[in-house]
Structure 1
Amino acid sequence: MADRVYPASKPNPQPPQALKGGSGSGGGAGGAPSFPPTKGQTYGATLPAYRPQPRKPPPPRRRSRRGCCCSCCLWLTLVIVALLFLAAIAAGVFYVIYRPRRPTFEVDGLRLSAFNVSGAGQLTSRLDLNVTARNPNAKIVYLYDAASISVFSGGVDVGDGSFPAFVQEAKNTTHLAAKLSAPSGQSLDSTAASDLRKKTSLPLEINVDTKVGVKIGGLKTKKMGIQVRCEGINIGVPKGKAAPVASSPNAACKVKLRIKIWKWTIS
C-alpha cells in the first residue's frame, strides 16, 4: 500500500498590498513588506500545552500585640482566681482545725494615787493600772512585744507607761501591772486646767498599743500591730491627805488589729 504524502504546510497568500495613491509619472504603487507567518498561523502546527503556575503559599499571619495582651490578661486572671481559691480553701481548713479567737483584755484594777494641776497649767499624776489578758485558744500561742500605755481624760493625757514583753501560752491568763504618770513638760491651757481642778472624778480612756505574733507548733508568724482600747471607766480624784481609793471597774476592752500598708495604718 502506497504511503500518502501530505504537505507539511500550506503557504499563506500574501495580503493585498495597500495602494498608495499619488500623482506622478508611471502611477507607481508602493506596499508594506510582508512578514513570514507565525507558528499559530502555520497549518497543522501544534500549540504548547497549558501548564498552570503553582500558587504561592500565603505569607504567615503575624499575631497582633492586642491578641498577645488579651491572652496574657486572661491567663493572669485565671492564675489569680486559682490562687484566691486555694487561699480560701487553706483558710477554711485552718479555721476548722484551730478555731482561732482573738485575745481578750480587761481592766480589773486602777488607782489614782496623785493628781494636781499647778497654777501654770502643769499636770502631775500617778496611776496604778492592772490589766488581765486571756488567751482563749487551745492550740495557739501569742507572742507580745512591749506595750505602750496612754490614759486620757477629756482629751488630756493624764498618764503614760508601758507593759513588758511576754509570751502567752494557750488557754493562759496573764496579769499585767504598770505605774503611769503624766508626761513631763505638758502644759495645759487655762480652760482645761480650770476644768480639771473642779473635777471630783475623772472619766478615763485607756489605750494600749503593741505588736503580737502567733505561734502554732513550730511555725511563727510575723508580728502585727494591735490596739487595746478600754472606755467607760471613772475614778475618784484624791483630795487633801485622804488615802486614794482603788477602783475595780472590771471594764472589758476592745481589741483592734492595726495593719500598716506603706504610709497608712488600717484598724
Structure 2
Amino acid sequence: MAEEQPPAEHHLTHPKMTEEGHIKKGGMISAYRLRYSRRGFCTFLTILLLLIAITTLILWLIYRPYKPQFTVVSAAIYDLNTTSPPFISTTMQFTVLARNPNRRVSIYYDNIYTYVSYKNQVITPQVMLPPLFQEKHSTVVLSLVIGGTPVPVALDVANGLMMDEKYGVVSLRLGLLGKLRWKAGAIRTGHNEFSVTCSVLMGLTKGFVGQLPLLGDPECKVDI
C-alpha cells in the first residue's frame, strides 16, 4: 500500500503587502515626476527671463534716446514797459532750433508752455504751444511770441530791468516746459516731463524795438 504524500505547501503573498508595495512605488514615481516637472519649469523660466533681459539690453543699446537739443538763434523785443505798482508789460519773439539727434527715435511733444524770466522771476505770461511731432534726426524751427499781458513783479526786478536798459545789456531766460514721448518703430513710451532753460544775453537800449543782437552763444539746458 502506497504511503500518503504530505500535502504540498503553498506560499501565498499577503494581498495587503502587495497593495502597499505598489502604492509605495507609485508614490515615489509621482514625487520624482513632480520634482522633475518643477525643475524643468524653473529652468524654462530662468532661460525666458534671461532672453528677455538680453533682448531688452540690445533694444536699449540700439534705440536708447538722447536728449533733444535747443538753440536760440534770434531774439526781438517789440514792447517793454514798467508801470506801477510795479508791472512789466512786454512782447518778445524768439527763434529756437529744436534738434532731435536720434537716428532711430522720434519725439512727441505735448502740453508745451513757454515763458521769459528775469532775475529768476517770470516777467511774461505762460504761452501754450501746439503739440509737436519731430521726426528722427531732424531739426524744427520754433517761432515763439511771448507776452502781451502785464505781469506783477518785485520792485528790484523792475528797477534792475530799467538799469540794464540804461547800460545797454540785458540777460533773460527763455523757458520751455512740457511732456514728451519717445517713438521707436511701433513702440511708444509714456510721458516724461521735460524743461528747457536758455540763458540769453542781448544788447538792449531804452526805447529800441525789433531784432536785438545776441551777445555770445545762448546756452540751453535740457532736463528730462
TM-score by length of 1: 0.57
Q: Which residue of 2 aligns with 1:158?
A: 123
Q: Which residue of 1 aligns with 2:202?
A: 235
Write the distance in 2 (CA, Å) between the matches of 1:236 and 1:87. 56
Write the distance in 1 (CA, Å) between the matches of 2:59 and 2:176. 29
> For the aligned residues, what is the CA RMSD?
2.7
Whichever residue aligns with residue 131 of structure 1, its letter is: V
Write the distance in 2 (CA, Å) between the matches of 1:190 and 1:253. 28
CA contact (8 A) 2:175 2:197 kept: yes
CA contact (8 A) 2:181 2:192 kept: yes
Whichever residue aligns with residue 188 of structure 2, its letter is: K
Over residues 55-85 of structure 1, what are the superposed CA-to-partner deviations in whole Å (9 max), with x where a residue is unaligned?
Answer: xxxxxxxxxxxxxxxxxxxxxxxxxxx7997
CA contact (8 A) 1:163 1:177 kept: no
Whichever residue aligns with residue 175 of structure 2, its letter is: N
Q: Which runs of 5+ in 2 are unaligned?
A: 1-45
Over residues 95-151 of structure 1, what are the superposed CA-to-partner deviations in whole Å (9 max), with x where a residue is unaligned?
Answer: 332353221111111112211111431211110011111111111111111310121
Whichever residue aligns with residue 221 of structure 2, its letter is: K
For residue 236 of structure 1, report the CA deviation from its aligned partner.
Answer: 3.1
Whichever residue aligns with residue 172 of structure 1, its letter is: S
Write the distance in 1 (CA, Å) between the matches of 2:191 and 2:97. 21
Whichever residue aligns with residue 246 of structure 1, its letter is: L
Q: How many residues align?
A: 174
Secondary structure of the residue aligned to 2:211 is: coil
Secondary structure of the residue aligned to 1:194 is: helix
Instruction: Determine if the alignment matches structure 1 residue 251 to structure 2 residue 218.
Output: yes
Higher strand residue share: 2
Write the distance in 2 (CA, Å) between the matches of 1:190 and 1:229. 24
CA contact (8 A) 1:130 1:177 kept: yes
Higher relative contact order (CA 8 A, sep 6+): 2
Q: Which runs of 5+ in 1 are unaligned?
A: 1-81, 258-267
Q: Which residue of 2 aligns with 1:144?
A: 109
TM-score by length of 2: 0.67
Secondary structure of the residue aligned to 1:108 is: strand
Write the distance in 2 (CA, Å) between the matches of 1:255 and 1:140. 17
Q: Which residue of 2 aligns with 1:213?
A: 181
Higher-Rg member (1/2): 1
CA contact (8 A) 2:94 2:144 kept: yes
Runs (4 or more) in structure 1 with deviation over 6 Å come to 82-87
